[in-house]
Amino acid sequence: MENDNSTMVKEFILLGLTQSRDIQLLVFVLILIFYLIILPGNFLIILTIRSDPGLTAPLYFFLGNLAFLDASYSFIVAPRMLVDFVSEKKVISYRGCITQLFFLHFLGGGEGLLLVVMAFDRYIAICRPLRYSTVMNPRACYALLLALWLGGFIHSIIQVALILRLPFCGPNQLDNFFCDVPQVIKLACTDTFVVELLMVFNSGLMTLLCFLGLLSSYAVILCHIRGSTSEGKSRALSTCTTHVIIILLMFGPAIFIYTRPFRALPADKVVSFFHTVIFPLMNPMIYTLRNQEVKTSMRRLLSRHVVC
């Protein structure tokens, strides 16, 4: 395919989440509240874990990285969405669209792999406790962190490479509030059947396999916990339950969006809204509210600054 350019479209017009001004106002206020309350909470989690010498276990190391990933992820879509609510013309350049798409899948893929790493950490801690300090040493934690960032990058660059090869010569209206693979591909003026299959394989199959693998691993862990009589049983059960909630919140919408042919459904925008805006801000908070050590450390940090 000729690449020099087939791309005649220089910008895309975003049709937005809804055309109703009342719903737009409601969503605007909702996102603003989330940003003003929960986003600082995510940064507080990172600061708490970094500043407390008692929170050096791999679980908290990965929780801090989850908070960072989710905070970063929330900057990809939501700020522009807020601006678009008060703008007459909702336009994003071709390059801006590709950039948004890249970071969406880079950070999203990285987070999915981070949840896999956290499941592995819990499996070793609960099912192989005597080997935990050997397996999950600091060097191994940093190696796993590097691997998940690299995995997210490879996943995203494949998406972008496939889209950059497509010619866009009009129309240029994206029926969404941000740029994502399913909507962008539909605007290409060529047959996209093969590209769609590759995209479903890269995003959909990977998401589904990670999801099933995670559920299976936590099923094994929970079975092990049920047969245990140790003192930390309730704590381990609480931690694993929290992990499962986050897995369902993240992978449920992703499976709905990416594991089927790119055909528009009425629920697409609502699912995408929760997947890209609401859930990323909530994930670390859900972890923290169910983790007594982090809550206690956070209170100490806040009281120390209040006294100062």
User: What pLDDT shows up at residue 52?
Assistant: 87
**Contact criterion met (CB below 8 Å) for 242 and 286:** yes
151-165, 247-261, 283-297: which has the highest mean pLDDT? 151-165
Query: pLDDT-based confidence at 262, cuts 50/70/90?
Result: low
Q: Tokens 């381990």 sit at which residue?
A: 236
- Residues 46-82: pLDDT tens digits? 898 898 888 889 989 998 998 899 888 888 988 888 8
Q: List the one residue out of 239, 241, 235, 238 whose CA is nearest residue 215.
A: 241
Tell whether omega for the bond before 138 is within 30 degrees of 0, i.e. cis: no
The single-letter DSSP state of residue 190 is S
At the second CATH level, the architecture of 11-307 is Up-down Bundle (1.20)
- Residues 129-157: pLDDT tens digits? 899 999 999 999 999 999 999 999 999 99
Which of the two residues, 115 and 282, has the higher pLDDT score?
A: 115
Query: pLDDT-based confidence at 5, cuts 50/70/90?
Result: very low
User: What pLDDT shows up at residue 99?
Assistant: 95
DSSP labels, 122-153? HHHHHHSGGGHHHHT-HHHHHHHHHHHHHHHH
Give 152: exposed, middle or buried? Use CB within 10 Å, 0-12, 13-18, 19+.
buried
- Residues 39-52: pLDDT tens digits? 888 888 889 889 88
Start-end of H helices in the chain: 21-51, 58-85, 94-127, 132-135, 138-164, 181-186, 193-199, 206-226, 233-258, 268-273, 279-289, 292-307
- Would you say residue 296 has pLDDT above 70? yes
Distance CA 181, CA 162 (A): 10
Q: How far is CA 198 from the centre of its chain?
A: 21
**Contact criterion met (CB below 8 Å) for 178 and 108:** no
Q: What percent of the chain has pLDDT over 90?
A: 31
Write the CB contacts of 294 (distance below 8 Å, at least 6 apart in sequence). 45, 48, 49, 55, 60, 63, 287, 288
Report the sign of the C-alpha dihedral through residues 169, 171, 174, 175, in that order: negative
Give me 289's structure tokens.
């509210």
Task: Give the 3-state secondary structure of residue 11.
Answer: strand
Comparing 27-36, 146-155, 229-238, 279-288, which segment has the lowest mean pLDDT?
229-238
Distance CA 113, CA 115 (A): 5
83-87, 90-94, 273-277: which has the highest mean pLDDT? 90-94
Write the CB contacts of 45 (distance below 8 Å, at least 6 apart in sequence). 63, 64, 67, 284, 285, 288, 294, 298
Domain ranges of the chain: 11-307
User: What pLDDT shows up at residue 96?
Assistant: 94
Distance CA 249, CA 75 (A): 19
